[in-house]
Structure formats: C-alpha cells, structure tokens
C-alpha cells in the first residue's frame, strides 16, 4: 500500500515537470493618429468681374438704383439696339437716347421694374393708363408704374409717351444726331427730377458709343453737334455751351445780367456746361 502511494506521488511530479507555462498573447494596438482638418473658405467671384476697364462696375442710379457691369450693359445694348433703331425710324427719337434711358432706368435690365413688369423706362401709370400695373417706391412710396408683357412693348410705349405729350414737342425740333441736346431737353421738359440725369445719359452714350446707332439710321458719320440749344418747354430755357458766359447770354437774349440772375435765383455769375438757364 505504501509503495503504491509513493508511485502515485512520483507520477504527479513527472506530470508537473512536463507541463509548460501558459503563453500570454498581447495585441499591441496601433496608436490612433488624429489628422488635423483645415477648412478653406473659398471666395465666390462674380463671373463678369474682370480687371479690365471694359468691364468695370457701373453704378446706375435712376429708377433702378443698382450696380451692374460694363459687359452686362454691352449685352443689353446688343439685345435692344435693333428695337431702338426701328423706333428712331418710326418716331424720330435718337436710338442713342432710347438705349441710354433704357440702361439707366432699368439697370441694364436688372432693376426691379424691369424684372417684375418689363418696364425699362420707369414710366408711371399717369391718367388714362388702363393696362396692368405694379407698385414701386420712387419719388413717393408705392407709386403706380406700367407693366408690360414684353420689353419691346416698353420700348414702343416709351416712344409713344414722348411723341404724344406736348411738353416734349420741342425735342422733335432738335437734330436727331444731337444726343446732348436731347438729353438736356428731356430733363428740362420734366422727364426726370435728377439734376444729373442729362450728364448720366451723355456719359453712357459716349462710353458705350451708342451714337453709332444714330449714325446707322441717319447714314452718316458721327460728328458731335455743338450748337446753341433752346431746350424744351416752349423755349424758356437755354442749355449752356462751352465758352458761354452769363454776360454773353444776356446780350444774346436781350437781357441784363441781373435779369438772368434773378430769373435763375443766382447769387453770382458762375455757370457750367449743360446747365439749364431760364431766359423768359
């Protein structure tokens, strides 16, 4: 019995010696690398914004009162030059004046009235208008303006508007190639309240060479008309030309300098080219 016990103990010792230590496997995790993300803010550029002078930004402050680009104005002219020239043939209004007014009043077609009512000339409803209309803030709040189905109707109505009102009658006595006199005459006849309105029209005509469309209709080369102009409203006003002085005008119209100063509420004798001087 004792020998069996000894054998049993020896067997346990042998088994214990043959056993191996357990292997512990460790998985080494790779360090997580957090990459930095950099947000880049891109600048959205106007597709027409170029550095060349031909596409500089132009401020059009009339009924539209918006800013546009030269390229947009050139595109506007391309779209409406034929209509303007046809209206010149049919109604006698210089195409250059029509286009310049359309550009200025409609913001080259981008203004609110042009977009919502196809009204490119800021023509208000006035007495007798039975067509569609829209409300728009102008000299007063929510004034009534005419609405058209197509811009070409606005161009036609612009011609009819000028030809059918007696206050514009003297304009049609002017040379059709004399856009400067037409611009001054429109202001004198009350088309716009902005004192700089004529200069804005003339500036557009000369910058974008709108006078060449007058030339096409008249079949002549452009020659600036520099002549004395008695503007609209029955010849009561004179448009100051280069070289004019108040003294010279007093002699021209058989008045005294003091008469002219009193008629025009002037404190001195200073006058400027394009200024409207009351002579009656």
Whether 42 maps to a domain, the answer reads no
| pLDDT score for 63 | 54
Secondary element (H or E) of residue 161 = helix 151-163
Whether 24 maps to a domain, the answer reads no
What CATH number has the domain bearing residue 257? 3.10.350.10
| pLDDT score for 60 | 66
| pLDDT score for 5 | 57
Residue 144 shares a structural domain with residue 256: no
Residue 206 shares a structural domain with residue 120: yes
Whether 160 maps to a domain, the answer reads yes
Residue 123 shares a structural domain with residue 168: yes
Last residue of a domain, one of 220, 250, 266: 220
Residue 162 shares a structural domain with residue 280: no
What CATH number has the domain bearing residue 187? 1.10.530.10
DSSP classification of residue 176: T
Taking 3-state DSSP, the helix, strand and coil percentages for the chain, each rounded to the nearest 5, stand at 45, 10, 45
| pLDDT score for 6 | 54
Residue 259 shares a structural domain with residue 165: no
DSSP classification of residue 22: P
Number of structural domains found in the chain = 2
Lookup: tokens for 216:
């096409």
What's the rounded Cα separation, in Å, for the pair 110 and 89? 27
What are the strands, taking DSSP E only, across the chain? 57-60, 66-69, 133-136, 143-146, 229-230, 237-239, 276-278
Residue 140 shares a structural domain with residue 268: no
Whether 144 maps to a domain, the answer reads yes
Start-to-end C-alpha separation, the chain: 156
Residue 195 shares a structural domain with residue 263: no
| pLDDT score for 13 | 56
Whether 2 maps to a domain, the answer reads no
Residue 205 shares a structural domain with residue 84: yes
Whether 213 maps to a domain, the answer reads yes
| pLDDT score for 48 | 40
- Report DSSP letters for 226-260, one per residue: ---EE-TTTTTEEE--TT--HHHHHHHTT--HHHH
| pLDDT score for 56 | 59
Residue 172 shares a structural domain with residue 248: no
Residue 127 shares a structural domain with residue 75: yes
pLDDT in tens, the chain (280 residues): 555 555 655 555 555 554 444 443 434 444 433 333 333 222 233 344 333 345 556 656 555 567 788 899 999 999 999 999 999 999 999 999 999 999 999 999 999 899 999 999 989 998 888 999 999 877 778 889 999 999 999 999 999 999 999 999 999 999 999 999 999 999 999 998 888 889 889 888 988 899 999 999 999 876 554 444 444 334 577 877 766 788 888 888 888 999 999 988 888 888 876 677 888 8
Q: What is the largest CA-CA distance in the chain?
A: 163
Structural domain including 245 reads: 240-280
Residue 102 shares a structural domain with residue 194: yes
Whether 3 maps to a domain, the answer reads no
What's the rounded Cα separation, in Å, for the pair 164 and 178? 21
What's the rounded Cα separation, in Å, for the pair 80 and 23? 91
Whether 212 maps to a domain, the answer reads yes
Residue 198 shares a structural domain with residue 111: yes
DSSP classification of residue 124: B
């Amino acid at each position: 019995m004792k020998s069996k016990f000894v054998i049993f103990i020896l067997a346990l010792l042998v088994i214990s010696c043959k056993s191996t230590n357990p292997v512990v496997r460790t998985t080494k995790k790779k360090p997580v690398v957090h990459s930095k993300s950099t947000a880049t803010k891109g600048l959205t550029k106007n597709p027409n914004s170029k550095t060349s002078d031909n596409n500089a930004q132009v401020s059009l402050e009339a009924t539209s009162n918006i800013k546009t680009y030269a390229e947009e104005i050139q595109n506007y002219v391309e779209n409406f030059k034929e209509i303007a020239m046809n209206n010149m043939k049919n109604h006698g209004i210089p195409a250059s004046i029509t286009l310049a007014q359309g550009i200025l009043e409609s913001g080259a077609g981008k203004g609110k009235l042009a977009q919502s009512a196809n009204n490119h000339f800021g023509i208000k409803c006035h007495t007798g208008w039975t067509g569609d209309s829209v409300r728009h803030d102008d000299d007063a709040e929510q004034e009534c303006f005419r609405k058209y189905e197509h811009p070409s109707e606005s161009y036609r109505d612009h011609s009819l508007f000028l030809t059918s009102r007696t206050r514009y009658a003297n304009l049609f006595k002017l040379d059709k190639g004399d856009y400067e006199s037409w611009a001054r005459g429109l202001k004198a006849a009350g088309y716009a309240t902005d004192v700089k309105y004529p200069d804005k029209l003339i500036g557009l005509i000369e910058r974008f060479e709108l006078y060449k469309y007058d030339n096409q209709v008249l079949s002549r080369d452009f020659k600036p008309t520099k002549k004395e102009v008695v503007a609209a409203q029955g010849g009561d006003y004179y448009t100051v030309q280069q070289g004019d002085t108040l003294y010279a005008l007093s002699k021209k119209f058989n008045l005294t300098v003091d008469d002219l100063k009193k008629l025009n509420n002037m404190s001195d004798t200073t006058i400027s080219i394009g200024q409207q001087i009351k002579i009656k």
